[in-house]
Amino acid sequence: MSKNLRQAFKINPNGIKPETVPCKTLRTGDEIPAVGLGTFGSDRFSKEEVADAVLGAIANGYRHIDCASVYMNEPEIGEALKIAMEGGVKREDLWITSKVWNDMHKQGDVLLSCAQSLKDLKLDYLDLFLMHWPFPNYHAPGCDGDSRNPDSRPFSVEEFMATWQQMERLVDMGLVKNIGTSNMTIAKFNEVYDLMRIKPSINEMELHPHFQQQELYDWCIEHDIQPIGFCPIGSPTRPDRDKTENDTVDIEDPVIVAAAKRLGVHPAVVCVKWAVQRGQVPIPFSVRENEYMSNLQSAIDNPLKDEEMEAIAKIDKKCRLIKGQVFLWEDADSWEDLWDLDGKILGYNK
């Protein structure tokens, strides 16, 4: 973390007032700010750059920070959070999320993962703890997109529920206030939802104008699960291993560009506005102050018109950007096998 930023931290009186940022109320009654700051550096930004962005964002009005152990920057973010709280930001005004990584699903490991994240983030509790992926398939950080772990295997209800029950215990222990899922499908939810003692408050999922996941989004809303949307602007800085020649670019779509021109903003801002107005909680990532501030400001003023929202609803390309191919088991055919496209879980036998 830059020494000047650390020493000079103070809440910017000219920043966005946190109380003006709308919130979504969860099944627990807790309120989550409608825009968060993502912290996955996409292999392109250093831990220090991400931590500096967190501190700068908090100084200027952000209160929702989305973290994960696998991003390998929680100790640095923890320093930023400590400085912010020592500088006058109340812990209860922050919303901090972390996630258990796939290699920590075994019995007892979820508690260890949560404890490590709490230690690294310098917190006594987490507002939200997510199961990052619904299976224990693991890959080494930064591995090639074609890598396969011989221990990877299809989804298992028994393995999922063993992990989920450990997460429920974290709530019982007071270490986390809400638990949730990520990268789920309706087919997987249908197998486990009724087995859950504590239902998920959140499902974090890829959501942007070219990948709207309307059916899964509606399923979550119907079951009182708040969607959080990652890649809300189409993740132009995602790792190269997650890019394919058939990927589309949301911020170049004529519908998005036209709305941006009317508002006099960057097309990325339109994507964030659409997310907030639709109802999910976007968590865009940026280390640049002008970008992360315009993302937060987008939730406050100059909404999209109804006709613009209707037009964006029609540009869904069903273009998944984070395909998860590194989690495939050895005899799987393609990344599509992870996502239950025909409503059936490949390789799962009841």
Residues belonging to the active site: 71
Instruction: Please state the φ and ψ torsions of residue 198, each to the nearest 5 degrees.
Output: -105, 120
Query: Going by C-beta distance under 8 Å and a sequence separation of 6 or more, which residues neighbour residue 305?
Result: none
Please, are residues 30 and 61 in contact by the beta-carbon 8 Å criterion?
no
In the DSSP assignment, the letter for residue 305 is P
- CA distance linking residue 31 with residue 292, whole number of Å: 21
Range list of β-strands (E), 107-151:
128-131
Nearest CA-CA partner of 160 in 224, 105, 87: 105
- CA distance linking residue 242 with residue 147, whole number of Å: 12
Residue 100 identity (one-letter amino acid): V
* Number of residues in the chain: 350
Range list of β-strands (E), the chain:
23-25, 31-33, 37-38, 64-66, 95-100, 128-131, 179-182, 202-206, 226-230, 281-282
- CA distances to 3, 185, 188 from 75, rounded to whole Å, are 16, 31, 33
- CA distance linking residue 325 with residue 330, whole number of Å: 11
Q: Which tokens in the block code for residue 228?
A: 């959080």
